[in-house]
Chains A and B, each alone.
Chain A
Amino acid sequence: MIMLREIIKELFYEQTRAILIILAVAWGTFAIVITLAVGDGLRLNFVQTMSDIGSRILVLTSGTSTKNYQGILANQSIKLTKRDAKAIADLPNLSSVTWRYNFQTKLRYQDKKTYADLRAVTPEYVLVHKVKTGPKQRFISYLDQKKMSSVIVLGSDTADRLFIKDNPVGNIVYVDNHPFTIIGVMQKRPQMIYADSVPDRWLNWIPSSTYELLNNPDKVDAIEVRYKDVGLIEQTKNSIQKLIAINHGADPSDPGIVDFQDVAQKQKKINNFFINMEIFLGIVGGLTLFLAGVGIANVMYASVKRATRQIGIQMALGATARYVVFRYIMESLVMTVIGGVIGMVVAVVFVYFINRIPLQGQILEWTGKPELSLSFLVLSIVVLVLGVTGLLAGLFPALKAAKIDPAEALTYE
């Protein structure tokens, strides 16, 4: 405490030097906080986006046998069927199973027309994909499925293209000239990765039974399952593969007969990308702070040189070398802490206002609205980097100061 007061007095005495150093540290701190906040914000936004949709989705599509087995020849396409989906539903570690038919067709609403992607699905689809509809609207029900109703849930993108603004429930959309009653419009949500080939907002859904009635398909385009425990995913895949092999008379050990896409794997890759980006941004910010640290060290070196005589006087009066080292490190740390606090406060205020700017643009449909994140992790990293910078910036000039010979220093002009 005694020393701290002396140091602060000295900083006041050499205001210009102190202000320049403090500004450099404040700028460095601001840079590292903002870059880390951007990186962390994007990653957390992605995690949030994924948690809205869920990642434990496995998509099964038809495969091709890779070897001859009983009646099945190599290179023979294995077409997935409803029967496969129903059998898979009985396997453990699965919470919901649906199958889907994919098709593209023309939609007409009043005088508006558009081409759209359609999916004919079972009511379980909503459990797999967590699709949400607007208030007083609904997704395809078991009754729709049973009655093979001509009902449709529109994707938010299709609703926009057909200029549907108010609640369109009960209105008719023509699907390739067949009238379908709108029962819901999907609520908009950002989606950076998806189980299907296109984002959910581009899709429109009708009951699979209705599609089957109209088209009598002999295969499904995909079976989608939501699983419970990611740790059991390999066993689950094996069980599914064996079951499909048995259903189709194929080799149960042939991995080619069914194609798996795991959304969790995609999520992991993107999450890793964000973490790497965060590390990269952290390094960039850290370098800025490091440069500020070099600045401090330089100014401190000059300060030690200028204060050689004073250091000699202090030593003559009884200051030990240890005291001198400690004193200069403390001086560096004091300036770093003051600069760091200023930088952090400015960054917090900056983040507060930036997060309140209403962002607009198509990119947000994919990414959502990322907010700069000042998490405990970000602040901990900043405090750690600041501490090390302050310590190192002060250490070398301090060691130089401690090596001063008091007898020589007293004659220094």
Chain B
Amino acid sequence: MSEKIIQIHDVGKTYHTGKIDFEALRNINLEIEKGDYVAILGPSGSGKSTLMHIIGCLATPTVGSYFLAGKEVSKFTSNDLAKARNLYIGFVFQKFNLMPQMTVLDNVSLPLLYRGIKTEERRSKAKEVLEQLGLASHLMHRSNELSGGQQQRVAVARALVTNPEVILADEPTGNLDSKSGEGVINLFNQLHEGGKTVILVTHDTAVAKNANRIIQIQDGTIRV
């Protein structure tokens, strides 16, 4: 029997803006097994980003419980959430979110910095991952010296450097041309084949089709 890496039970998320309460998610129940390849598909405003924030420990649910790798992170403090993100989640964002002042090598080694790993080891691990993704010749470049596709590969390398349980990608092809997007999706496919749990958050059905399982979300709930 496969191990469940993500277990979400009756989760809801309400945002309070002034006197208005906005219910972004309600009654979300979701289980994802280790090694799964899941796409969370939904249109803009459907609540998929909120769900991604909760899965990625960037936010906690207002109600319900969320277990990540067997730990109830919905009750974690902000410090514990930060550690959980560093330990279990590798983020890939639509806008790459690389640090412009840093080199590719420094960007990729950044998550290891927060783990307190020494410079030499950080650099060596980052270099290894970048070489695996075909970026060995760009180690000392800054992000603005790279193409969109290359930047997203760097972001994937940064997500992988800590060897996390889950790769969580938010619209990873949204800022890329179709060829570069295809390259990045192929990368996720390979990661899944290598045994990683991959979660793609997207509004693009074509992207979602790469996953083994599609979870459709609309108006803050999962459509069955």
Q: Is B115 an interface residue (CB 8 A)?
A: yes
Q: Are B101 and A317 in contact (CB under 8 A)?
A: no
Given A318-B111, A320-B114, A410 and B82 contact (CB-CB distance below 8 Å): no
Q: Nearest chain A CB to B115's CB is how many angstroms away?
A: 7
Assess whether A315 is interfacial by the CB under 8 Å rule.
yes
B101–A316 contact, CB under 8 A?
no
Which residue of A13, A309, A315 is within 8 Å of B101 (Cβ)?
A13
**Could you tell me the distance in whole angstroms from the C-beta of A330 to the nearest C-beta in chain B?**
13
- A10 touches B (CB below 8 Å): yes
| CB <8 Å contact, B102 and A310 | no
Q: List 9 A-B contacts (CB under 8 A).
A: A14-B101, A309-B97, A315-B85, A316-B97, A317-B85, A317-B114, A320-B114, A321-B82, A410-B97
| Bound Cα distance from A323 to B115, whole angstroms | 11
Tell me, yes or no, whether B66 is within 8 Å of chain A by CB.
Answer: no
Residues of A within 8 A of B86 (CB): 317-318
B114:A319 contact, CB within 8 angstroms:
yes
> 9 closest pairs, A vs B, by CB?
A318-B86, A13-B101, A318-B114, A407-B58, A320-B82, A317-B111, A407-B53, A313-B97, A320-B79
> What chain B residues lie within 8 Å of A410 (beta carbons)?
58, 93, 97
Q: How far is the CA of A9 from the CA of B102 in the complex (A)?
A: 8
Q: Which residue of A lies closest to B99 (CB)?
A: A310
CA gap between A51 and B53 in the complex, in Å:
75
Within 8 A of B (CB), among A279-322: 309-310, 313-322
Residues 90-132 of chain B, each 1 if its beta carbon lies under 8 Å from chain A, else 0: 0101000101011000100011011110110000000000000
Q: Which of B83, B86, B93 lies at the interface centre, i.e. has the most chain A CB atoms within 10 A of its CB? A: B86
CA distance A320 to B78 in the complex (A): 8
Q: B119–A318 contact, CB under 8 A?
A: no
* Known pairs A313-B97, A410-B97; A321 contacts B110 (CB<8 A): no
B79 touches A318 (CB 8 A): no
A313 engages B58 (CB within 8 Å)? no
A316-B91, A317-B114, A318-B114 in contact; A406/B83 too (CB < 8 A)? no
Chain A positions within 8 Å of B93 at CB level: 410
A10-B56 Cα distance, complex, nearest whole Å: 28
* Beyond A319-B114, A322-B79, A323-B82, 6 extra complex contacts between A and B, CB < 8 Å: A313-B99, A314-B110, A315-B82, A317-B158, A406-B58, A410-B93
Set of chain A residues within 8 Å of B63, measured between Cβ atoms: none
Q: Please, which residue of chain B has its CB at the minimum distance from the CB of A5?
A: B119
A6 at interface, CB cutoff 8 A: yes
From A313, A321, A405, give the contact of B79 (CB < 8 A): A321
Contact (Cβ within 8 A) A6 B113: yes
* Most chain B beta carbons < 10 A, residue from A9, A10, A405, A406: A406
CB A405 to nearest CB in B, in angstroms, measures 8
